[in-house]
Structure 1
Amino acid sequence: MSILRRVFSLSAVATVTAAVLLVPTAPVGAAGVPVGPAGDAFYQPPAPLPGSAPGDPIWYRATPAPIATVSGASAYHVLYRSKNATGADIAVSSTVFVPLLPTLGTRPIVALAPGTQGIGDKCAPSKAFANGTEYDQLYVSELLNKGWAVAVTDYEGLGTPGDHTYVIGQSEGRAMLDSVRAATRVPAIGLRAGGKVGLIGYSQGGGAAAWAGELQPSYAPDLNLVGISAGGVPADLDAVGKALDGSAGFGLLLFAAVGLDTAYPELNLESYLNDAGRKEFADREKCVSDFAPYIGKRISDYTTRSPLTQPDWQARMAENKLGSRVPGAPIFLYHASGDALVPFGQADALRREYCAKGAAVKWGVHLGEHVTAFASGRADAVAYLADRFAGKAAPRSC
């Protein structure tokens, strides 16, 4: 979210942005994976999609990224195959960071699910990393400093064709898992398959990480998943939507309505909109920096009746509710006790669901609210993955 940017000092951002851009040159067309075009053409996949399996790379390119330079790493954009919420083949983009220093054995890979960026193509994390403005970049730096490679998905529809399926876990989880597969299938990047994999994210990213964990046993059993850190998780879209309606975070509810309608076109959001809603939802290029006009707004300001209470919308939200499956690895869930954007109660309910199913869950509660827990929980989230990579027994809070 745009307010998260205030967590970082202006001096830190200036240091990253001012870094000299030294980008390693990747071999052209290594092992049949072509180098993609320059500019935004990179995000437009050929038809039909090359490859045959989720995670197959379409093309890649070396990219400037200030955080990679100051962290001693190389950076690449990758366009790869994935599947959307209904199982259709799609193209998704990502940024992959690899430390320049060699490592013993197979380098661990952390899939970082970014927090809320927006719904417009211009909001894609890969574009923000390239110009040094991505608020998750200091998170990436911490992971790189551990010697781990980092794969950051853009999710479905951020940069690539179609609208962004915001908070649709069935899509986000697959995009996250496939970002790891794709990173190991581009020989020029230099990562090997079979190494230990961790998942990490906060807010939208926390939901994506938890979803990737639930999907991994059936969708990506080839990945050696050893740990998940997920904070500020929107586990129950219905509960989160009710909390956001009329709140300072109402813009997130607008994004979620677009995400649901994009993932499931039969929901027909257009049929619920009044004149103000048709004008508002016609603009699908909003980023989190555009939130201010929506503070305190309600869904009733834009609709003739709320779509969120309709049976078909409720059913699709239920399909994207976490907790029906045990994650494929131990998980660290953490949340702010005073979170007014993503309610604490629904996250605690997810913890109880996982515990009841026998999952290995560590639970952390942070004083403060959504934004402060993003900062205060980061060190614990990274440390949790470090312990899983080291083979330590996973703690349990159940």
Structure 2
Amino acid sequence: MIRSLVTGLAVAGLSCAVVVPASADDRPPTPQNDPFYTAPSPLPNVPAGDVLKTRKVDLYVDILRLFPVPTRADQVLYRSTSATGTPNAVSGTIITPLTTWPGPGKRPVVAYAMGTQGLGDQCAPSYQIRTGTEVEVAFIAQAITKGWAVALTDYEGLGTPGTHTYATAKSEGRALLDVARAATRLPAAGLDPTAPIGVFGYSQGGQAAAAAAEQAASYAPDLKVVGTATGGVPADLDLVAASNDGGIGFGLVAAAAIGLATAYPEVPLDNVLTTQGKELFAKIKQACVAEIALLAPGRRLNDFTTVPNVIKDPRWQKRLNENLLGNVKPSAPVYLYHGTADELIPYQGAQQLKARYCAAGATLEWHVIPLGGHVVTVSLWGTNALNWLGDRFQNRPARTSC
């Protein structure tokens, strides 16, 4: 039902599309079978955000691929940086409206961070948006109909070779900032390097957006970031793990452990998994989010490791603390929202994030969604967050809740 609703909204928002049915034989190859996703070797010594490969693609809002999106869309492979500072290659998509931007100023760019897609390469947004299977197309459609360009990141290791560094805030934030850079450096997109950048994301995307907001001044000072709209943020991974261990979100705990252990190879994981744990984690590495949610609900990490409470290991705690959000003041205003009944990302964590941002001196607009669950909250409030970015693009002053 949610997928149908999202697709319907997207189609409504892009109703001027010319219907050109696409056959099943026309579907693009999966990233595992598509050489576009493989970076040149050795990786060129170019600045972060530079485009390594590009190709024009068609986007669809339905699984039958009956409704091509009437925009300019370019898939890119671009240079970014891992959580530990190593240059890497990340894939993404740059979407530019065909209409002329009326102003004020240059056409804005939304650096869009997707919510959890999964760990299998076939879950990459740049692939799903070409096959009509991406569930977040409604918000992308809203941005496009406002005349904004959209820069989508697949994140590190999602689509490209290797394992996705899921839940690693530092690499997610850098991948998001760099896809915005790639958008403004891609001649075919026709965007200006001085264009205002708005950052948007929810759930995993909220983590990435907040991380981008915190790293923008130091990592990407060349970008004109004017605001970040973020919600459902897993700001404290220790708290999120404790809340979901033994609950319905255990599959996501396991996925986060895989992602962080990929980003930081020194943390113990593979070498402490039981035989059953290795089998489960191997499945998760190849799965998208719907399948992950059905794997081992109600189980605990201790059920699959030979060492109890493995993430309390000092090596784990060091890296988890490095990815704790809220201790760095974002250089631009932030819009933060969270549902009080979020069953996956504790509301307590959002309250603590707000407190840390306020203590750091951030300009922060805070919104509480009473009784809002995880999916319900973004469904109810995501449009408000996008509209808040529109105010930033119009140079209207931001208010603060601190």
TM-score normalised to structure 2 length = 0.90
Q: CA offsets per residue over residues 237-274 of structure 1, 9 Å max, x none?
A: 00000001011111110110001110000113112211
User: Kindly tell me: are residues 116 and 9 of structure 1, through their superposed partners in 2, closer, same or farther at Cα, counting changes over 3 Å?
Assistant: closer
Which residue of the partner structure matches residue 222 of structure 2?
222
Structure 1 segments of 4 or more deviating over 6 A? 13-19
Which residue of the partner structure matches residue 287 of structure 1?
288
Shift of 1:39: 6.1
Does structure 1 residue 93 correspond to structure 2 residue 91? yes
CA distance in structure 2 between the aligned counterparts of 1:114 and 1:10, rounded to whole angstroms: 16
The amino acid that maps onto 1:45 is A
CA distance in structure 1 between the aligned counterparts of 2:69 and 2:279, rounded to whole angstroms: 43
Q: 1:327-346 counterparts in 2 under 5 A? A: 327-346=330-349
Does structure 1 residue 312 correspond to structure 2 residue 315? yes
Contact 2:92 2:126 in 1 (8 A): yes
Contact 2:92 2:151 in 1 (8 A): yes
Contact 1:67 1:141 in 2 (8 A): no
Shift of 1:102: 1.1
Shift of 1:50: 2.7
Q: CA offsets per residue over residues 10-60 of structure 1, 9 Å max, x none?
A: 75578889973599xxxxxxxxxxxxx996111001111235110010011
The amino acid that maps onto 1:217 is A
CA distance in structure 1 between the aligned counterparts of 2:32 and 2:229, rounded to whole angstroms: 34
User: Kindly tell me: are residues 249 and 106 of structure 1, through their superposed partners in 2, closer, same or farther at Cα, counting changes over 3 Å?
Assistant: same
Does structure 1 residue 20 correspond to structure 2 residue 19? yes
Q: 1:1-398 counterparts in 2 under 5 A? A: 5-6=2-3, 8=5, 11=8, 20=19, 40-67=34-61, 72-104=70-102, 105-283=105-283, 284-290=285-291, 291-304=293-306, 305-367=308-370, 368-398=372-402
User: Kindly tell me: are residues 128 and 76 of structure 1, through their superposed partners in 2, closer, same or farther at Cα, counting changes over 3 Å?
Assistant: same
Q: CA offsets per residue over residues 299-354 of structure 1, 9 Å max, x none?
A: 12211223212111111100000011101210000000011200001111010111
Contact 2:7 2:61 in 1 (8 A): no
CA distance in structure 2 between the aligned counterparts of 1:136 and 1:63, rounded to whole angstroms: 18
Q: Which deviates more, 175-184 or 65-74?
A: 65-74
CA distance in structure 2 between the aligned counterparts of 1:108 and 1:51, rounded to whole angstroms: 29
Structure 1 runs not aligned, ≥5 long: 24-36
Q: CA offsets per residue over residues 59-88 of structure 1, 9 Å max, x none?
A: 111111024966531111000000000000
Q: Which deviates more, 44-53 or 318-327?
A: 44-53
- Aligned to 2:257, the other structure's residue is in SS state helix
CA distance in structure 2 between the aligned counterparts of 1:22 and 1:361, rounded to whole angstroms: 45
Contact 1:55 1:81 in 2 (8 A): yes
- Cα root mean square deviation, aligned: 2.3
CA distance in structure 2 between the aligned counterparts of 1:227 and 1:10, rounded to whole angstroms: 27
Q: Which deviates more, 229-238 or 64-73?
A: 64-73
Contact 1:51 1:81 in 2 (8 A): no
CA distance in structure 1 between the aligned counterparts of 2:173 and 2:7, rounded to whole angstroms: 32
CA distance in structure 2 between the aligned counterparts of 1:150 and 1:296, rounded to whole angstroms: 38
The amino acid that maps onto 1:144 is I
